[in-house]
Structure 1
């Protein structure tokens, strides 16, 4: 368990819902004691998806369009609503003097709404592993980026929650924003609604920008911690694996964007 106390203050920038009340020290301790379960869940996830892929090799693909549409729109609604609850705190902090430092390096002006949705963000990473089952059961192409992204982010989120460093506010807010677009796009495709091909590239660009922004803010926190006048509240247990995973995901997303962009551009020229 991290050694510092996280103060929860009244939110002058956002009205709190009753259901957002939570016991933050309890959940930090719970993840400190049980984060190892994310490794077990990750291992079961990888074994399951590749076992299912082998099982489906000589079988007809399942038609899961209705279930897939409901899944994606459900995730989209969840992400959009969560973003609407966490962004006000980030915006409020960024508008203060030295806003980026206040938002990424200090835990002041932290509200219960952000704390609650940071918890749901962390827990939802295990639920989002279900994305891959739709790919495998529908016999779509499963790429390294997809399953590595899901497994690594889930494990990192569970492991890092106990430290509760301010950087996590940025990570969760960006992720909710991108997922709001991404799941809406996949929901429309599941409904067989024609979406311009450029939208797919746009979604990939958003994901790539998320990796760049996350890695950049991580470097900012490290610089402030080592050389900044006001320091930065970070933890090696969280920031080291975060930097490593962000850098590898950036490479994989960049490679995926390059192949997708050239493929889509070729289709646009030939149409």
Structure 2
């Protein structure tokens, strides 16, 4: 066991020696240990400690705080989206093969900074799950939700550490834009029942999220299959996997939340209509029988058994 740990430590140190030196001064970027602990702590809290703590407690009323949080996240996501554009994607970045610029130019360092902020945003977004638990909306803490949050936070540390820039930031650009829209929706929803009429587009938000994964997957497959782009091969596969896994998971969510729910509602409506028709028919039949009986009694023709 000790031998195995020593080998693992040696491989890890050799790997970290190849990391981008420009990020070494950023907080939490020296070693991967804190990132691992942070992700595992999130998983422990949202899958065990949080639900256990709230089990016999009343939901917290965090509506105002959550509304402010969502507004802040809209602003933060907008800033990140703008910085990704200004650092390359709006100017001279290529959608086919864009290698990471490891220089110390102002634009390259700006890209490093926004990549770091994007990773930090993934940890801030852990609060999404905490709010669900605090409100006792445990049904929202799905495998899709937890897997998405934990995977993005954990893997993006490695992306910032080794390749903070280049083609790997395209999906971050798209994700920041999607989150601008998503947190706008959450912000309106958190304002209370009287604002529910403004969020009729919930299912279209899911379509929007699914579209981003198709775009991300298509972009990465195109780069990998048709261009000899000098970018860490492992990150290419990870990003393509993002698109594939999340598209499948979101598609399943769509089927469960909308397709099957619509079928159940249609079936329930049909059953209620059939039951109502049967009941009304019985009432009419009973009404006719009672009317005949009453007339027979009045005429003295009713028979006693």
Q: TM-score range by the shorter chain?
A: 0.7 to 0.9
What is the aligned partner in structure 2 of residue 100 from structure 1?
95
Change (3 A) 1:27 1:67: same
Which of the pair has more CA radius of gyration? 2
Distance in 1 separating the partners of 2:55 and 2:169: 41
What is the aligned partner in structure 2 of residue 162 from structure 1?
161
Give the number of aligned pairs.
242
- Asked if 1:243 corresponds to 2:240, the answer is yes
Distance in 2 separating the partners of 1:238 and 1:251: 20
Counterparts of residues 4-23 of structure 1 (less than 5 Å): none
What is the aligned partner in structure 1 of residue 135 from structure 2?
138
What is the aligned partner in structure 1 of residue 183 from structure 2?
183
- Asked if 1:259 corresponds to 2:282, the answer is no
Counterparts of residues 184-263 of structure 1 (less than 5 Å): 184-192=184-192, 193-196=195-198, 198-224=200-226, 228=227, 231-262=228-259
Higher relative contact order (CA 8 A, sep 6+): 1
What is the aligned partner in structure 2 of residue 19 from structure 1?
none
Distance in 2 separating the partners of 1:134 and 1:117: 26
What is the alpha-carbon root mean square deviation over aligned residues? 2.9
Change (3 A) 1:266 1:112: farther
TM-score (norm 1): 0.78
Distance in 2 separating the partners of 1:80 and 1:133: 23
Select the residue among 52, 61, 81 that pairs with 2:79: 81
Change (3 A) 1:81 1:30: closer
* Structure 2: gaps (5+ residues): 1-15, 270-305
Distance in 2 separating the partners of 1:4 and 1:143: 34
Deviations 1:192-240 (A, max 9, x none): 222455421121112111211222222122224xxx3xx2022134233
What is the aligned partner in structure 1 of residue 289 from structure 2?
none
Q: Is the 8 A contact 2:59 2:136 kept in 1?
A: yes
